[in-house]
């Protein structure tokens, strides 16, 4: 059973996934990704914290669909509690290293 929104934690992200939460400090229901996603759809404007639980891959974050507008690269194991990019994340790309 997953933790409630008030008790959410990075450990709610399954191994092998990159997870993003709609609130700071891993609160709310996370979205899970294990591969490239060129358009995050309705979640794209709600990326506030994340955890890269992939063991050997980074995840690049982009501000526009189709991998345009590079924001940052999350290394394996990176836990971000407070995203503050200039714009919201709209696409993700799995990479071998950051």
Q: Write the pLDDT tens digit of every residue in 5-63.
A: 455 678 889 999 999 998 889 998 889 999 999 998 877 777 889 999 999 999 999 98
Q: Measuring CA to CA, which residue among 4, 44, 28, 26 is closest to residue 80?
A: 26
All structural domains of the chain, each given as residue ranges with its CATH number in brackets, are 15-95 (2.60.20.10)
Q: pTM of the full predicted structure?
A: 0.83
User: What are the C-alpha distances in Å from 63 to residues 1, 2, 4, 47, 67?
Assistant: 33, 29, 29, 11, 8
* Helix, strand or coil, per DSSP, at residue 43: helix
User: What are the C-alpha distances in Å from 59 to residues 19, 21, 42, 52, 69?
Assistant: 10, 15, 19, 7, 14
């Amino acid at each position: 059973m997953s933790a409630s929104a008030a008790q959410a934690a990075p450990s709610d992200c399954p191994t092998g996934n990159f997870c993003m939460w709609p609130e700071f400090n891993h609160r709310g229901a996370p979205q899970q990704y294990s591969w490239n996603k060129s358009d995050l759809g309705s979640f794209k404007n709600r990326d506030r914290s994340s955890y890269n639980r992939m063991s050997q891959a980074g995840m690049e974050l982009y501000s526009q669909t189709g991998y345009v507008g590079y924001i940052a690269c999350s290394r394996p194991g990176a836990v971000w509690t407070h995203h503050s990019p200039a714009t919201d994340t709209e696409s993700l790309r799995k990479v071998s290293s950051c």
